[in-house]
Structure 1
Amino acid sequence: MHYEEKLPLHVLSGFLGSGKTTLLKSWLAQQNLNDIALLVNEFGEVGIDHHLLNEVAPDTVLLPSGCICCQIRGELKTALLDLYERRARGLLPPFTQVILETTGLADPSPILSTLLHDRQLQHHFTQGTLVTLVDAEHARQQADEQPEWIAQVSAADKLLLSKCDRVSELEKCALQQWLHNINPMAELTDTQHILDTPHPLFQSEVEHGSRDQRFRWLGACADDHFALKPTAHSLSHPPTQTCVITLEQSLNWPAFAIWLSMLLHCHGSTVLRMKGILRISDSRSPIVIQGVQHTLHPPIHLQDWPGELESSKLVFILRGLEADRLQQAFSRYMQALQEP
Structure 2
Amino acid sequence: MSLIPVTIITGFLGSGKTTLLKRILTEAHGQKIAVIENEFGEENIDNDILVADTKEQIIQMNNGCICCTIREDLRVTLIDLAAKKRDGSLKFDRVVIETTGLADPGPVAQTFFMDDEIAEIYLLDAIVTLVDAKHGQTQLDQRQEAQRQAGFADQIFISKTDLVTTAEADDLAHRLKHINPRAPQQRVHFGEVPLGNVFDLRGFNLNAKLEIDPSFLTDDAHDHGHHDHDHVHDEHCNHPHHHKHDDDVKSFVYKSTRPFNPSKLEDFLGSMVQIYGPRMLRYKGVLNVVGMDRKVIFQGVHQLMGSDVGPKWSPGEDKTSKMVFIGIDLPQDLFRTGLEQCLA
* Fold similarity call, TM over 0.5: yes
Residue equivalent to 1:216:
211
Residue equivalent to 2:147:
150
Residue equivalent to 2:174:
177
Gaps of 5+ in 1: none
Residue equivalent to 2:265:
256
Matches within 5 A, 1:183-332: 183-192=180-189, 195=192, 197=194, 199-205=196-202, 214-217=209-212, 219-220=214-215, 232-234=227-229, 235-296=244-305, 298-305=306-313, 308-332=317-341
Indicate the percent of aligned positions where both proteins have the same amino acid: 30
Q: Which amino acid aligns with 2:12?
A: F
Cα distance in 2 between the residues matched to 1:225 and 1:168: 27
Q: Which amino acid aligns with 1:284?
A: D
Deviations 1:59-101 (A, max 9, x none): 11111122101332111111111111211222222x3321100
Residue equivalent to 2:233:
none
Deviations 1:212-236 (A, max 9, x none): x82322534778997x998743233
- 1:275–1:288 contact (8 Å) kept in structure 2: yes
Q: Which amino acid aligns with 2:285?
A: G
Q: 1:57 to 1:156 in 2, by over 3 A?
A: farther
Residue equivalent to 2:24:
27
Measure how far apart 1:281 and its partner are.
3.2
Residue equivalent to 1:46:
43
Q: Which of residues 139, 163, 166 is equivalent to 1:166?
A: 163
TM-score (norm 1): 0.85
Residue equivalent to 1:61:
59
Q: 1:331 to 1:137 in 2, by over 3 A?
A: same
Measure how far apart 1:208 and its partner are.
8.3
Residue equivalent to 2:238:
none
Query: What is the root-mean-square deviation of aligned Cα atoms in Å?
Result: 2.9
185-194 or 135-144, which deviates more: 185-194
Residue equivalent to 2:80:
82
TM-score (norm 2): 0.85
User: Following TM superposition, where does structure 1 have runs of at least 4 consecutive aligned residues deviating by more than 6 angstroms?
Assistant: 221-226, 228-231
- 1:43–1:66 contact (8 Å) kept in structure 2: yes
Gaps of 5+ in 2: 230-243
